[in-house]
Structure 1
Amino acid sequence: ILQSNPSSLYYFCSFLQAVTFHTDLGDLKIELFCERTPKACENFLALCASGFYNGCVFHRNIKGFMVQTGDPTGTGKGGTSIWGRKFEDEFSEHLKHNVRGVVSMANSGPNTNGSQFFFTYAKQPHLDMKYTIFGKIIDGLETLDELEKLPVNEKTFRPITDTRIKDVTIHANPFAG
């Protein structure tokens, strides 16, 4: 039902609280903050359900900072939201880049969210109220460790070897297998 009607995801968002990315290096299970960032979560879940992220590479990887993905072109310049345009930021004083594994929308300035997102490798308080936080890794930090170890081009921060999201599982319950 979700793949045939992604718009129904907004209604069911409060029940769909977790997704697992199956990557070349292992799994990353993410708890979503649908109540605090409903638009970002609706967009993210619909893109997950449609297979949009399947095959996306981690195209930017800065040790100690973050790793970015969500661009089907693999360039860091592509991707769009489910609405076919950029969408507004959603900030909450309760959501901070205060731990390893925070998941945020990547953007090129205020209200320019699309499909790209990143995982933090450490606290990044300078990102608070500038990037929409919509989740956190709840399982698979060892996979995040492996991503952080990938050798990169020192000028572009692109991993030397393409590492991809193979596919995504959407969970109705964050404790589901």
Structure 2
Amino acid sequence: MITLETTYGKIVIQTYDADAPNTVSNFITLANKGFYNGLTFHRVIKGFMIQGGDPTGNGTGGPGYQFADELNPQTASYKAGYKTGVVAMANAGPNTNGSQFFIMAADYPLPNSYTIFGKVVSGQDVVNTIVNVPTGQNDKPLTPVVMSKVTVK
């Protein structure tokens, strides 16, 4: 379980260890190092999703490395797709995962290009609040939405 403590409350995520073991391991490693602490949800699209995990805060940053997608059509998460509460890696194309991730605020028919590695089990109301904050250029919240602390249990 991963807990994101945000400006608007806690979001608890159950990870899909069997479906995306490398992705889950990467996220947990970064979280345990404190990588996500103090970062923002830099991209918020009403009726769609919230995205965070970029140390630059503009959508171009990451941990300094990239890793491969885990897109297995046999897994339940892949088959279910990008439904409300799904947590997946954001990327800039195939095998460009790093630290950025998004949380779905609605069911949306995205192409199966983003590794799904978890689902919100508590705090979807927090996601729903964040997805409705006022945004400006590049879907960036006008007032920063901060992940003050990200912990793993």
TM-score normalised by the shorter chain: which range applies?
over 0.9
Deviation at 1:125, TM superposition (A): 2.4
**Higher share of residues assigned strand:** 2
The match for 1:20 is 3
Range with bigger deviation, 92-101 or 34-43:
92-101
1:48-87 paired onto structure 2 within 5 Å: 48-80=31-63, 84-87=64-67
Taking only aligned residues, the RMSD between alpha carbons, in angstroms, comes to: 1.1
**How far apart in 1 are the matches of 2:91 and 2:51?**
11
The match for 1:15 is none
The match for 1:11 is none
**Bigger Rg, structure 1 or 2:** 1
Identity across the alignment (%): 43
The match for 1:113 is 97
Aligned amino acid, residue 157 of structure 1:
D
The match for 1:143 is 126
**How far apart in 1 are the matches of 2:6 and 2:110?**
28
The match for 2:151 is 169
SS of residue paired to 1:142: helix
The match for 1:89 is 69
**How far apart in 2 are the matches of 1:115 and 1:126?**
20
The match for 2:110 is 126
Aligned amino acid, residue 52 of structure 1:
F
1:75-117 CA-partner distances (Å, limit 9, x unpaired): 111112xxx4211100133213342110000000001000000
**How far apart in 2 are the matches of 1:55 and 1:157?**
19
After superposition, the Cα gap between the structure-2 partners of 1:76 and 1:123, relative to the gap in structure 1 and judged at 3 Å, is: same
SS of residue paired to 1:149: coil
Aligned amino acid, residue 127 of structure 2:
L
- Larger RCO, structures 1/2 (Cα 8 Å, 6+ apart): 2
Deviation at 1:136, TM superposition (A): 0.5
Structure 1 spans left out of the alignment, 5+ residues? 1-17, 172-177
